[in-house]
Amino acid sequence: MARCLTQTASLQRRLSWSLAASSKPVKELQSLRFVGSRPSSRFQSSAAGGRDGKGDGKYYALRFVGSRPSSRFQSSAADGKDGKGGSDNNLNLEFFPNSWAEPETLFDWSKREVVNEDQDKYASELGHRNAAWREQKLAQDPEYFTRMAKGQAPKYLWIGCCDSRVAAENMIGAKPGEIFVHRNIANQVIHTDANLRACLQYAIHSLEVEHIVVCGHYDCGGIRAATRNTDHTAPLESWLTNIRDVYKMHYAELQAIADQDEREKRLVELNVQEQCMNLFKTNDVQKRRVYTAQRPHRYAFAMPRIHAMVFAPGDGILRRLPLDFGEMIKKHSAVYKLYDNKMFMASNVDPAM
């Protein structure tokens, strides 16, 4: 403990020298208050106006340049304890806005003095766009963010592709809190994908979503890549193998389509179909559907219902694939059913939305 306090005091002195001689807008720094368990990571100016009413109260984030920031430091002020030089006290600092303690807004960050325009212009653009978006929302609805802060109660889990053109909220004009979203390359439902399974479990058992939408899209890069005999190298190629498996399952149908673009469109649809079936195979979906089917006095239908959809970027239309999941599951229930067969099958009536 004594050693830690000694190191902290030493670091405070060196930070003070560094800041005093730097061009950063921190003046008359008298003391530093470290936040958290790592005094070498973040500090607050208590001299220029902290929470005691005497300082600015701003928190600063530091990035130490070097292999071990806790070992040797050099004052960027120039040189040692006397301010004249010294290579043993090596401390190089880089300042960032703090993201978890009284943070500056991205817009304020974008307006600061720019040191490197090439690196900062993109953050500045996002800051300005965020401010414009916020002002627009407040002008349309002054209570917009007040309602957003109250939490979420989505009816839908949306499993879609990472493609930047196919955000679910844009496709259906969804409001905040309406859709819980998981996205990956080519909207895959892979049972060993911990990310997807954690999202699925949370959506079903905590948020209690009523519907799950698997949405593919035409002109999908992941689908196109899976139709090529090319090694895209791991981990991408490992991911695409799951789509190649769908291709294998429907090989005869797909090879009968002469036009490559039309073949890829059909594979998009078949891929959505198989990912929906993969959802039905999971214990999370089966358990919840059986539970809700057994309680018709509480639930209007077996939940969650699963829907297969495809979006066309060329015309902006979201299409529902006409699939009979009840028949598909009946065909394979002997293999995949995890709960009472009668109740499980009764839960799979899936009328159109």
Sorted by sequence, the CB contacts under 8 Å of residue 323 that are 6+ apart come out as 273, 276, 308
163 is catalytic: yes
220 is catalytic: yes
Provide long-range contacts, Cβ within 8 A and 24+ apart, for 122-126.
Answer: none
* Catalytically annotated residue among 38, 51, 112, 165: 165
Residues in the chain, overall count: 353
Which two structure tokens, joined as six digits, stand for 4?
């830690």
* Catalytically annotated residue among 161, 199, 215, 276: 161
User: Is 336 within 8 Å of 285 (Cβ atoms)?
Assistant: no
Sorted by sequence, the CB contacts under 8 Å of residue 130 that are 6+ apart come out as 105, 106, 107
Which two structure tokens, joined as six digits, stand for 33?
């208050």
141 is catalytic: no
* Catalytically annotated residue among 217, 263, 289, 305: 217
217 is catalytic: yes
User: Is 95 within 8 Å of 37 (Cβ atoms)?
Assistant: no
- H helices of the chain, in order, are 2-21, 106-111, 117-140, 144-148, 168-172, 194-201, 221-226, 236-249, 251-255, 260-281, 283-293, 325-336, 341-346
Query: Smallest Cα–Cα separation from 243: which of 189, 282, 198, 197?
Result: 189
Concatenating the DSSP letter of every residue in 196-227 gives HHHHHHIIIIIS--SEEEEEEESS-HHHHHHT
* Catalytically annotated residue among 182, 220, 307, 350: 220
Sorted by sequence, the CB contacts under 8 Å of residue 266 that are 6+ apart come out as 253, 254, 257
* Catalytically annotated residue among 14, 42, 163, 263: 163
Residues involved in catalysis: 161, 163, 165, 217, 220
